[in-house]
Amino acid sequence: MPGRKSKTPLADQHMFLSPQLDIGADPEDGSDLDLIASTYRSVLDDSAFEDMIAGWESRLTTSGAGTPQTKVSRRLLGQLAIFRDTLDNLGAPVTSDPLKVAVSEVPGPALVISPNGRVATINISGERAFGVRQGGQIDPARIAPGSREDYDALLRASGERHNGAHAILTILPAAGEYGETLLAEAYLLRAAGQNRDHIAIRSLEIAWAPRAGDRLQQAFGLTQAECEVAELFFQSRNLDAIAQRRGVSLLTIRTQIKTIMGKMGAPSNVELMRLLAMVASREQVGLTGAAPVWHDPLNRESIIQTGGGRRIAWTWMGDRHGLPVVLSRGMTMTYLLPADCEARLKEAGICLYLLSRPGYGNSTIDASLDVMEDNRVALRAFLDRIVGRPCLGVGQADGVLPLVAEAAADPRRFHGLLAVGYAGGFDIPGLQRLPKIQRVMLQLAGSAPWVAELMAKSGHRMMRQHGLDWYLERAFRTNPINQVTLRNPDWTALIRNACEHALKQGHVTFVRELQLTHFPIDPALQALAIPLLYLAPLDDPGIDLDACGRLGKLNPRITVEPVPDAAELILYQRSDLVLDRIIAMARQKK
């Protein structure tokens, strides 16, 4: 790996590749200025990243994507180096992702779920109160019986564009620190490009700050008496109790509440509670809902610690003591299978091990190794310590490449391999058929990896600022089948979890995955002594069946199965078919 610094920390705050590029002899031109401008604009302008991609696409076309290095002028190299330092010194951006904003702007427990109850995002206190993690399924038992009707009504309304639907729910917390019950607001929230609403559930159990009354007077013109009534309403929501507390009639309190609602523009008691909660939470300085780091939503993760300090994380689905199958994910944003797939795996007597490859989730990278060797070392340790016998290996996208390399080196590891989705390493010319962003990034990873890292770092910052949907929309917008999948909140909850799993350790994982694609895998494919089935989604732009035909010529043990109505997100678009093949191949003998 050119320019690799083996001891550099791999947190997202640090670059890990050195700026080694060929310096062009051609005179500088206007394209340098355009690239420099779009590069700096990318810190604030979410559209600038696409201008950066377009600029590098033109430069790659001009200088030739097949050359060992991408040539740049000295001025451009110098400006890129300055921008590199700028990125390293910038603080974390403030997110504009509406789902993350919903759980971060309140100090108490909060989460956002899809219409089928899968958690799209959650804050740390929400993890404790609801007993669930991002990507997991909320337990309906957390909703008090008296609130189930309102909760079910919200779930039904999520697909009917009832943007005004909201309710006050009583939550039965999973953790004792929140008491026996927790009052929460629940309302519909639609993310851009979604065909159904998410449901946000946020605690209303917020302390009334001393300055909240001042804020009500300043912002809404409430009198001192009205501020006192508003505070009591927020704390008890019982008009009789408020009247008794203040020594006035119930009619007086009702009149005051109506006046408060009019001044604050609240059409209902529920909306008034929401507004009061927002005012109270704004005064809880420094107590916003912190976001958790990625954790296994199945709550089954185990970690292998090697002598050299390496951490290898894994979890599982299905029958814990069943036939072993090892799944190795790629950069395609799919990871966990849906709940109904786990039921099928359990019924079939299969344990599907979900291995976090180096850089994913809680598995560490060994920067002293090239990306393929790093993956194989981790894979061997996992197979030796956990599996202990020949098994089926399943690889998503380029996640299959380490499986192929290891199977070719040691045929005893696997009795069969299943490749799910387009693997760029199987068909390098196919990279030219990919959408612009993926194509340019992969070309840069081969010819100018330091530039690819700079772009990845900038893109990762934008994802943190504008939300994961910013990336998903750009990565998959050219494909109608992917768009249908992404418009469904039940699928995007799983996709978001896969994104967080891939990005937990920052931009470095993405860069190394780009480099993995360029690993020469043909010799390993030729040496395979076990069967390999390649599920080729016909709507994936990288797939060309004529090009796939060369795999059978390399090795007759390789079979290609065309899969219609599927693209990059095949694991979710055709999950039943993928599971059929996993079950059938797991039961086959070597």
Tens digit of each residue's pLDDT (9 = 90 or more) over 522-550: 999 999 999 999 999 999 999 999 889 89
Residue 350 Cα to chain centre, angstroms: 27
Please write the tens of the pLDDT for every residue from 359-418: 999 999 998 899 999 999 999 999 999 999 999 999 999 999 999 999 999 999 999 999
Asked if residue 377 and residue 334 are part of one domain, the reply reads yes
Residue 116 lies in a domain: yes
Q: Which residue has the higher pLDDT, 576 or 295?
A: 576
In the block, tokens 């390493």 appear at 425
Residue 262 CA to chain centroid, in angstroms? Answer: 41
Same domain, 307 and 402: yes
Q: State the DSSP H helix or E strand holding residue 257, giving kind and residue range, or none if neither.
A: helix 250-264
Helix 400-409 vs helix 508-517: crossing angle, to nearest 10:
50
- Number of helices (H) and strands (E), helices first, in the chain? 24, 13
CA-to-CA dists, residue 295 to 122, 191, 246, 333, 356, angstroms: 12, 23, 48, 16, 12
Could you tell me which residue, 477 or 395, shows the higher pLDDT?
395
* 229 contact partners, CB below 8 Å, separation of at least 6: 242, 246, 253, 256, 257, 260
**Sole residue written with tokens 């109850």:** 117
CA distance 15 to 83: 12
- Who contacts 307 (Cβ-Cβ below 8 Å, separation ≥6)? none
Residue 294 lies in a domain: no
Question: What span, in angstroms and rounded, lies between the C-alpha atoms of 148 and 153?
Answer: 8
Two structure tokens written together for 452: 């690819």
Neighbour tally for 194: CB within 10 Å: 18
Instruction: In whole angstroms, give the CA distance from residue 380 to residue 423.
Output: 21
Strand bridging mode 414-420 / 532-537: parallel
Q: Do residue 110 and residue 189 come from a single domain? A: yes
The mean of the pLDDT values for the chain is 84
SS3 letters for 127-193? HHHHCCCCCCECCHHHECHHHHHHHHHHHHHCCCCCCCCEEEEEECCCCHHHCCCEEEEEEEECCCC
Choice among 54-58, 136-140, 287-291 with the minimum mean pLDDT: 287-291
249, 282, 315: which is the final residue of a domain? 282
Burial annotation 16-26 (CB, 10 A radius, 16+ → b, else e): bbebebeebee
In a domain, 498, yes or no: no
Tell me the three-class secondary structure of 522-568, residue by residue.
HHHHHHCCCCEEEEEECCCCCCCHHHHHHHHHHCCCEEEEEECCCCC
Query: pLDDT tens, 155-197?
Result: 888 877 655 678 889 999 887 767 778 888 899 988 877 888 8
Pick from 108-112, 286-290, 403-407: least confident: 286-290
Same domain, 392 and 523: yes
Q: What is the pLDDT of residue 94?
A: 65
Tokens of 59: 């430069």
Task: Specify whether the CB–CB gap between 185 and 204 falls below 8 A.
Answer: yes
What are the structure tokens assigned to 58, written together?
Answer: 């033109």
Q: Rounded to whole angstroms, how far apart are CA atoms 324 and 353?
A: 7
First to last CA, the chain: 36
What's the rounded Cα separation, in Å, for the pair 47 and 151? 38
Confidence of residue 579 (pLDDT cuts 50, 70, 90): very high
Q: Which residues contact 546 (CB under 8 A, 6 or more apart)?
A: none
| Position 314 pLDDT exceeds 50 | yes
Tokens of 243: 């009247």
What does the pLDDT read at residue 536? Answer: 95
Q: How confident is the model at residue 272 (pLDDT cuts 50, 70, 90)?
A: confident
Is residue 504 situated within a structural domain?
Answer: no
pLDDT confidence tier of residue 124, bands split at 50, 70 and 90: confident
Could you tell me the two tokens for 197?
């609403």
The verdict on 419 and 445 lying in the same domain is no
Please choose, from the candidates 452, 474, 450, 451, the residue with its C-alpha nearest in 3D space to the C-alpha of residue 462: 474
Task: Tell me, yes or no, whether 22 and 164 share the same domain.
Answer: no
Which residue type occupies 442?
Answer: L
pLDDT at 283: 59
Task: Report the sign of the C-alpha dihedral through residues 327, 315, 470, 159, in that order.
Answer: positive
- List Cβ neighbours of 553 (8 Å cut-off, separation of 6 or more): none
Domain assignment present for residue 169? The answer is: yes
Whether the predicted pLDDT of 26 surpasses 70:
no
Decide if 492 contacts 114 (C-beta within 8 A). yes
User: 408 and 315, same structural domain?
Assistant: yes
Cα separation, 122 vs 403, whole angstroms: 34
Neighbours of 267 (CB within 10 A): 10
What pLDDT is recorded for position 307? 80
Long-range contacts of the stretch 226-235 (C-beta < 8 A, 24+): 226/256, 226/259, 226/260, 226/263, 229/253, 229/256, 229/257, 229/260, 230/260, 230/276, 233/257, 233/260, 233/272, 233/273, 233/276, 234/204, 234/208, 234/273, 234/276, 234/277, 234/280, 235/208
- Residue 499 within a domain: no
List the domain range (segments joined by +) for residue 193. Answer: 98-203
Q: Domain containing 245 — which CATH number?
A: 1.10.10
- Residues 47 and 108 occupy one common structural domain: no
What contacts 469, CB < 8 A, 6 or more positions away? 97, 191, 192, 193, 492
Q: Do 366 and 250 reside in the same domain of the chain?
A: no
Residues 321 and 232 both lie in one domain: no
- Whichever domain contains 314, its CATH number is 3.40.50.1820
Give the pLDDT confidence of 226-261 residue by residue, as tens digits. Answer: 999 998 888 777 899 899 999 999 999 999 999 999
Hey, what are 198's tokens?
Answer: 């998410």
71 lies in the same domain as 117: no
Domain holding 147: CATH number?
3.30.450.20
Last residue of a domain, one of 184, 203, 222: 203
The confidence score (pLDDT) of residue 20 equals 52
With CA atoms as reference, report the closest residue to 566 among 476, 494, 462.
476
Residue 569 pLDDT exceeds 60:
yes
Render 293-338 in DSSP notation, one character per residue. PP--TTS--EEEE-TTS-EEEEEEEE-TTSEEEEEE--SSS--SPP
Residue 164 pLDDT: 60
Domain count along the chain: 4
Domain boundary among 444, 477, 510: 477
For residue 290, name the pLDDT band (cuts at 50, 70, 90). Answer: low
Give the closest residue to 403 by CA, choosing from 385, 386, 425. 425
Does residue 505 form part of some domain? no
User: Do residues 309 and 191 share a domain?
Assistant: no
Better-scored residue on pLDDT, 89 or 316: 316
β-strands 323-328, 311-318 pairing: unpaired
Answer whether residue 287 is part of any domain. no
Tell me, what amino acid is at 453?
A: E
Query: Does residue 432 contact residue 409 with C-beta atoms inside 8 Å?
Result: no
